Structure 1
Amino acid sequence: MYNAAVFDLDGTILDTLDDLQLALNHTLDAHGFPLYTLAQVRAMVGNGLRKLMLDACPAGTPQPEVDSVFDDFCAYYAIHCNDHTHPYPGIPQMIEHLRAAGVKCAAVSNKGDFAVRELMELHFPGAFDFVLGQRDDIPRKPDAAMVYLALDSMGVSRDTACYVGDSEVDILTAKNSQIPCISVTWGFRDPGFLAEKGAALLVDTVPQLEEAICQG
């Protein structure tokens, strides 16, 4: 059994896609920019909100306007980040089981820290030992800094921890952190894509994920 599991947020423990798409399109529409389908947004997320804005704005958009889009998005998303967001079925119960078994749990995300803390408090109050979103003073994933800060804060060594995520960013984050990665297939990337990106272990259901953590 692993002593700790570090979880990604979007697409791993929380289904945030609808709110991300609605907030993105609301902001882009206000700036007169083209809108994106749910499938397009699904493929774009994973590298943080600022990168999402950069990718969403038309090529050649001046940086000051990209910055304005980002600021407007954050203001809107701060109010509407939980309109449709919900945990994936079975995740809250799994976290309870892991904690009861002595497994420490952390959530680290490239989503802004303000949104991460609000969503975690709403959906997982007191359930995680450590929570961290993107901040200017910490490199974002796939840099290992966020994972190392989580493990250090929980007093867990790398050789007794695993990382759980749904994207290629998560696979690379685990590799850079030198800990095993468990890739879930219910998130924002398809199983075939994850396999192409080097996923070592794919799980299709929450019970499979719990088993993988408990038998690690």
Structure 2
Amino acid sequence: MKYSLVIFDLDGTILDTLDDIADSCNAVLKKNNFPVHTKKEIKTFIGNGIPKLIERSLPPATDTETKEKITQEFIAYYRTHSAIKTSPFNGMLDFLTELKNARIKIAVNTNKHEGTAVDICNKYFPGLIDAVTGGRPDTPHKPDPTGVEKILSLLNEKKENTIYVGDSDVDILTAQNAGIDCSSAAWGFRGEEFLKEHGAKKIVHDVNELKEIILG
């Protein structure tokens, strides 16, 4: 097999987290007397990390101090409300188990707060994820390749044996910046047409198509 490591994005790729993100975001906005948003709107805010999610959710003229306050409140609230409506996408748990049985390493690279990402991976995919890199104050967000490079170092893997699987333009750019192959998930938060418009070279529509690329 060509690939010995698969790096997955989290939100919209292996887990459908939209409901819990939207509910948490709106709970914090409502608490602070800001307008709330529809799930469809919040779906377009996701992908560039929590600070950007909050910035997009708040009125344009919101000051920096307030943005930071709401961001920290969201991190705290979401960490205890991240597994209420969230669930793996169809067939994903079985697929990750199959990868593990084939001795292919599995990692997650996300802009989600790293502590929350670790908690979620442990809950929904116990014993399957070999490394998780996420949003940290000392690490630039995707599409910067720092998180991918950290995974490669931790797991002692080469770029030519690694594939990145994500559902957004950010993930496509992350893979490009890291110099690794990429496969884009049409089932995620952005959809096939958006992915095509943003340079996706390989688009998969379900886990079986992804399995064909990775396991043959």
TM over 0.5: yes
Q: TM-score range by the shorter chain?
A: over 0.9
Secondary structure of the residue that 1:99 maps to in structure 2?
helix
Compute the TM-score of the two structures, normalised by the length of structure 1: 0.97
Percent identity over paired residues: 39
Q: Which residue of 2 aligns with 1:148?
A: 149
Shift of residue 152, structure 1, vs aligned partner: 1.2
Question: Map of 1:10-159 to 2, 5 A cutoff?
Answer: 10-159=11-160
Query: Please, which runs of 5 or more residues in structure 1 have no aligned partner?
Result: none
How many residue pairs get aligned? The number is 215
TM-score, structure 2 as length reference: 0.97
User: Bigger CA drift: 159-168 or 127-136?
Assistant: 127-136
Q: CA deviation at 1:79?
A: 1.1
Residue aligned with 1:181, SS: strand
Q: Given the alignment of the two structures, is residue 202 of structure 1 paired with residue 203 of structure 2, yes or no? A: yes
- Amino acid in the other structure paired with 1:146: G
- Partner of 2:80, secondary structure, is helix
Q: CA deviation at 1:74?
A: 1.4
Alpha-carbon shift at residue 9 of structure 1 (Å): 0.3
- Give the secondary structure class of the aligned counterpart of 1:159: helix
| Corresponding residue of 1:193 | 194
Q: Which moved more, 1:91-100 or 1:10-19?
A: 91-100
**2:132 alignment partner AA:** V
Runs of 4+ with >3 A deviation:
none
Match of 1:80, SS state, is coil
Using the TM superposition, give the Cα deviation of residue 131 of structure 1 relative to its aligned residue in structure 2, in angstroms.
1.3
**Which residue matches 2:4?**
3
C-alpha deviation, 1:200, in angstroms: 0.4
Deviation at 1:42, TM superposition (A): 1.0
The residue identity in structure 2 corresponding to 1:112 is H
Equivalent-residue separation in structure 2 for 1:66 and 1:136 (angstroms): 16
Shift of 1:190: 1.4
Q: Deviations over 1:112-165 (max 9, x none)?
A: 011101101101111011112211122111001100111111111001111000
RMSD: 0.9
Q: Structure 1: how far apart are the matches of 2:38 and 2:18?
A: 11
